[in-house]
Structure 1
């Protein structure tokens, strides 16, 4: 179904790393090249947290973003102390964005822009992106090949280029990521020879 121009999509903009100080501040890892635009006072973020978390299904409102030794540190409404801040560690922050809004950020895409892209390796199509999984450590792409589905880390070293207009994603996987590694001859065990009474030297 075509996406209407006013339909809202979710954009991942950061991850909460660890508590900072005693007043509820939290150090952030930013996934945006424009924090001044995304992290303004009053900005409201959707939280990706485990279902067991008391923050599951809730939003988080930013009071202020500060910088300490080149690290982004956020102060949020409803997070008054270090204990509350520690309960949000590893949470991923999402914002709503209109699907027709052009992102000014490099290497930032909506999930729906990535799903369906042809995966190109050495100039040849090897599969199609079927899903994007957002994990605490990194994003994983579900790529469907003729042999089945594989999970590929969505990092620059492995996915150096994404061309939404062309509908392609270039992949340079390390050996063994997309196929089984050939067995080394050195790993093959030599057949064990059992001795028989006839082989035992006479005393």
Structure 2
């Protein structure tokens, strides 16, 4: 499975450097000089990193294949991707990569079918986006009290929602 680790933004300067919207918890591992990243759309890449640096809160990257600002402008909006097989296993059994959660069926502790995890949001609180019947979506805070069991092998997430939570998306 291909996972997005960044999205190329606007050019920075005239030498082909671009801003990258980071979409990984480990930018220091994903954006290493010499690493070739696949792209989406695929025909744009792979792109090989020749330099990277942080400027304020933005990652700036130069690619071997991008000699100037004009070429950099053509990359705006391109996604940088890696194969999920490249990711190291997590040490903590209570931590998951997003792609391991997306697609799991969701049920309550009583066995009632709720829907399927369609996304994971990372804001002040990690949230599972659960798509239910008729296209409704419910945001479930991803905390042990509300999500007591995640069984990736069985393809399911068990939730213990407080009263009213599931009705919010209906």
Under a length normalisation based on structure 1, what TM-score does the superposition of the two structures give?
Answer: 0.57
Q: Any idea what the Cα deviations from partners look like across 1:108-137, whole Å, max 9, x if unmatched?
A: 322x542133166xx9642124x66xxxxx
Q: Is the counterpart of residue 18 in structure 1 residue 7 in structure 2? A: no
Correspondences of 1:1-203 after superposition (within 5 Å): 9-49=1-41, 56=43, 58-98=45-85, 101-103=88-90, 108-110=97-99, 113-118=101-106, 125-129=113-117, 143-145=131-133, 148-150=134-136, 152=137, 158-161=139-142, 164-165=150-151, 167-168=156-157, 175=168, 178-179=169-170
Higher helix content, 1 or 2: 2
4+ long deviations beyond 4 Å = 103-107, 169-175
Q: CA deviation at 1:81?
A: 0.9
Structure 2, gaps ≥5 residues long: 120-128
* Post-superposition CA distance 1:97-116 (Å, at most 9, x none): 32784147976322x54213
| Structure 2 contact 90–96 (Cα < 8 Å) conserved | no
Q: Distance in 2 between matches of 1:79 and 1:11?
A: 23
Larger CA Rg, structure 1 vs 2: 1
Aligned residues: 147
Secondary structure at the counterpart of residue 41 of structure 1: coil
Partner Cα distance (1:24, 1:65) in 2: 12
| Residues 130, 140 of structure 2: 8 Å contact kept | no
2:2 and 2:77 mapped to 1: Cα distance? 18
Shift of residue 143, structure 1, vs aligned partner: 2.5
Report the CA distance shift for 1:75/1:159 in structure 2 as closer, same or farther (over 3 A): farther
What is the Cα deviation at residue 174 of structure 1? 9.6
1:125 & 1:64 partners in 2: Cα distance? 49
Using the alignment, how far apart are the partners of 2:86 and 2:107 within structure 1? 23
Q: Equivalents in 1 of 2:38, 2:158: separation in Å? A: 28
- State the distance in 2 between where 1:40 and 1:165 align: 33
How far is the alpha carbon of 1:58 from its aligned partner? 3.1
- The answer (yes or no) to whether the contact 2:115–2:130 under 8 Å persists in 1 is no
